[in-house]
Chain A
Amino acid sequence: MAALGLWPIFLVGCEEQLPVAIGDQALPGEPVTVEITVPWSDFASNLEVFGGYGSPEDLGSGVLANQYEGTLDARTLVRFRRYPSVVVAVDATGASRPDSTLTYPSGRLVAYFDTIASTNAAPVTLALGATQVEWDATTTSWDYAIDTINDQRAWPEPGAGPVTAIGTAVWDPAAGDSAVFELDSLQVAAWADTTDLTAGARLDIIEPGSRLRIRGMALRIDARPSSAPDTLIQVTAPTREMTFIYTPNPTPPPDGVRIGGAPSWRTVMDVSIPSVIDGYAEFCAVVSCPHTLTPVEISFAALVLTSRMTDAAFQPSDSIRLDVRPVTDRSAMPKSPLGNSLIEERFGRPVPPAAFGSSPGVSIEIPFTTFSRDLLRGEDSKGNPATGTLALLSVLEPFSISFASFDGPGSASEPYLRLVLTIGPPVELP
């Protein structure tokens, strides 16, 4: 009986293989694969553009513009954190010790620019001023300093004015990525009070025709410790709040798709996968029509958009990263939660900026095969009802002041549905 115990071991050592039939042996009915293009009217409706998602402050960067493309003006507002209150100084005995009794005789505001996203090639003159009225970084705009519920206060002058002029500086992109404004002791002292809601700096561009992007700013302060009055120590106060305001505010496009911007735009549309395929010549040539479509027969489904030129002032200077998500409840728009992204790329589908400027008419394909199967089935893989509304948006909101535009329904390059269908007979017994 001991031999019985070895029995399975003897057999496990033999590899299992599946015979491969050859010749014309027993392959069930071969499926056919057909690609069809479904026009907008046959699969989508109710396209609507919503704006106002997020705030420019969320970007953590600034924008400057003066009559860029003849229309856009933009200014950047900034506040700084509390100044460092203690420095380590070497006193008269040569010992290093902390010193919290500091005076600030001078300082510098340094602005760092995104040389790629900025449109100027030549030097530009920038102006720095101190704001004079209270403002709220999250809600401020070109016209309003504060725009919260029950508290709406306009700027005395549109565009965050007036300001107390501090000075000017020239930024030459060929020379570096930063511009420096010199500050006197009074201005340094004025921005030291972080509870003062009027405190803040406004940055303008003097020459017209450019759009600049500010990566960040910092306040470099000269601190004089009491223990070493002949010594100046440079300390840094980073930005606490930075935002930008601009005019004009773009209006929703009446006939197109828009995503991106700051605050961001989203485009929402209702979609449905045709359950019966009929009238498509390329399809009916190989499959009996009308054909009732089943989810497993959808091998590929994609929404195809065609880019078009964005308003010149808001044309992207970097790639737009497109995202597509199902809308949980269309009736709750613009506040409806969104589902998981249908884009496989982690940071969305990148679209080069030229597609919205110098080279419009680029077809952007957004695959959503699983979504379309769920839609046709009426439920997703977890048994939840499938939503028939999609939102097109930027993968990060906001991502940039610029936005992307696509042709809408009714145009020659309206969005369409690309379907690759594999139709086969049932697998039968031999």
Chain B
Amino acid sequence: MMKRLLLTLAGLAVMGTPAAGQSLFNAAGLGLPIEALDGRARALGNLGIGLRGGSFLPTDPAALGYLTFSTGVMAAQPSWVDYASEDGVTGKVQGNRFPLLGIAYPFFQGMMSVQIGSFLDQHYQRTAEGEVPFGGESVATKDHFVQDGSISNLNLGFSRKLGDDYSVGLTVGRYAGSVVRTLTRTYGGDETTDVDDYIEQGEWGYKGHSFTLGAGMNVTEGVRVSASVQVPTNLHAEATDETRGADQTYKLPIQYRAGASALVGTGLTVTGSLKVADWSGAQESLSSVGQARDSNGFGIGTELSRARLWGKAMPLRFGYRQTGLPFSPNDTRATEKTFAAGFGLALSTSGDIVLAAADLAVERGRRSGDGLTENFWRVTISLLVSGL
């Protein structure tokens, strides 16, 4: 069983490299933050912390301790985006992402995990057209720029329950990934067919670490509160030997998260979460247009856990979330707001133990900044397997 799971994870990792971008906001600053969330958290509008039961989110290390058995999780996230600018430019873009892959295993009276989570998406392209004089005539040029890159976080976590109601956890992460920036100038027209393209390219590898400490507490039988703080090192981008461009170091923000879930009625759970992260420290290293800001946000949701399908539990979930985007193409604040709905489905159970479950979330959202608006559908589907 473990071998099959690892092979599947490896296959997904290969498929996901390189991932296509999912937003025009990827072109701003360091890119668009991508949260390593599963389908359940997405459907509840959650920011990755404070959900009842055990969960597998790098941003909620303590929740790992509430897992009972060895567990594997994988999430996939296709999205479809319609964008429009104030200049009247419209278009569509779509892509897939694998925001979360991982396994957890009992270790030293607690639970240890290895996770790969998305952090920043940097894929985008841009084309600009112009003219240059050739032999006394004007010849069309096309400058095509492609940025192919992303940053992931490879996490090693450990969590342990303290008594029946308390749990603490620590996740140590290493940022990994690379970015290739390529500018190609091509020359159009019959009279310039012999003129070669001009290609200028740079490649950088990312390095850095993060440390996430979290704690959770079951206040009552139906109420869970959790909090975490993620402290990163600086993010270093090191150029390859062939790259003319310089190395760069970016200051990443400390991220604070808190969340709570409460069983307020029979089969009815409400949840809320907050995130505070100030990215403005990265501004000093950024040369691009725009001002780095905070990515503060909140999310609320509700879960109806008594719904069933074909005799199996199928909790229904609804949520709303709103977060700031740290980078924007201009000086104005950009935000992302989504309404979400979804459900879970227990695929295999043994008594009260869920051996395999799928969680689906469908989000309808909008990212907007001054001059650019994206309306998108985002689907997150995750599979969780226990008892490996």
Interface residue ranges, A against B (CB under 8 Å) = 1, 3-5, 7-8, 10-12, 14-28, 30-33, 35, 296-300, 302, 344, 367, 369, 420, 422, 424, 426-430
Number of A-B contacts (CB under 8 A): 200
Question: Which of A7, A22, A296, A299 is within 8 Å of B85, CB to CB?
Answer: A22
Known: A11-B15, A23-B371, A428-B202. 11 other contacts (CB 8 A): A17-B93, A18-B20, A19-B26, A21-B329, A22-B89, A26-B124, A28-B181, A28-B200, A296-B200, A427-B202, A430-B29
In the complex the two chains form, is B21's CB within 8 Å of A18's CB?
A: yes
Determine how close the nearest CB of chain A comes to the CB of B100; give it in whole angstroms: 13
In the complex the two chains form, is A27's CB within 8 Å of B128's CB?
A: yes
B161 interfacial by beta-carbon distance below 8 Å: no
Chain B, range 357-387, C-beta contacts under 8 Å to A: 358, 371-372, 381, 383, 385
Residues of A within 8 A of B89 (CB): 22-23
Determine how close the nearest CB of chain B comes to the CB of A234; give it in whole angstroms: 54
Question: Which of A8, A10, A16, A298 is within 8 Å of B95, CB to CB?
Answer: A16
In the complex the two chains form, is A299's CB within 8 Å of B198's CB?
A: yes
Given A3-B383, A25-B126, A27-B126: A15 and B288 interface contact (C-beta under 8 Å) = no
Chain A minimum-CB-distance residue to B202: A427
Determine how close the nearest CB of chain B comes to the CB of A312; give it in whole angstroms: 33
Interface locus among B57-65, B212-220, B242-250, B303-311:
B242-250
Interface residue ranges, B against A (CB under 8 Å) = 1, 4-5, 8, 11-12, 15, 19-24, 26-30, 74, 76, 78, 81, 83, 85, 87, 89, 91-96, 123-128, 130, 132-135, 141, 143, 145-147, 179, 181-183, 185, 187, 192, 194-202, 204, 237, 243-246, 248, 286-289, 329, 347-348, 356, 358, 371-372, 381, 383, 385
In the complex the two chains form, is B11's CB within 8 Å of A8's CB?
A: yes
In the complex the two chains form, is A420's CB within 8 Å of B20's CB?
A: no
Given A4-B5, A22-B24, A23-B85: A420 and B195 interface contact (C-beta under 8 Å) = yes
Question: Which of B81, B87, B198, B329 is within 8 Å of A424, CB to CB?
Answer: B198
Question: Which of A20, A31, A300 is within 8 Å of B125, CB to CB?
Answer: A20
In the complex the two chains form, is B194's CB within 8 Å of A300's CB?
A: yes
Chain B minimum-CB-distance residue to A18: B125
Residues of B within 8 A of A12 (CB): 15
Residues of B within 8 A of A369 (CB): 194-196
In the complex the two chains form, is B124's CB within 8 Å of A429's CB?
A: no
In the complex the two chains form, is B24's CB within 8 Å of A21's CB?
A: yes
Determine how close the nearest CB of chain A comes to the CB of B328; give it in whole angstroms: 10
Residues of B within 8 A of A33 (CB): 132, 141, 185, 187, 198
CA distance A28 to B11 in the complex (A): 35
Given A25-B126, A31-B143, A33-B185: A426 and B200 interface contact (C-beta under 8 Å) = yes
In the complex the two chains form, is A35's CB within 8 Å of B133's CB?
A: yes
Residues of A within 8 A of B74 (CB): 7
Residues of A within 8 A of B194 (CB): 300, 302, 344, 367, 369
In the complex the two chains form, is A20's CB within 8 Å of B183's CB?
A: no
Determine how close the nearest CB of chain B comes to the CB of A2; give it in whole angstroms: 9
CA distance A17 to B146 in the complex (A): 12
Instruction: Pull 25 A–B residue pairs with CB atoms less than 8 Å apart, ordered by A.
Output: A1-B385, A3-B347, A4-B4, A4-B5, A7-B383, A11-B96, A16-B20, A17-B20, A19-B24, A25-B124, A26-B27, A28-B145, A28-B181, A30-B128, A30-B130, A31-B183, A298-B196, A299-B198, A300-B192, A300-B195, A420-B134, A428-B246, A429-B245, A429-B246, A430-B288
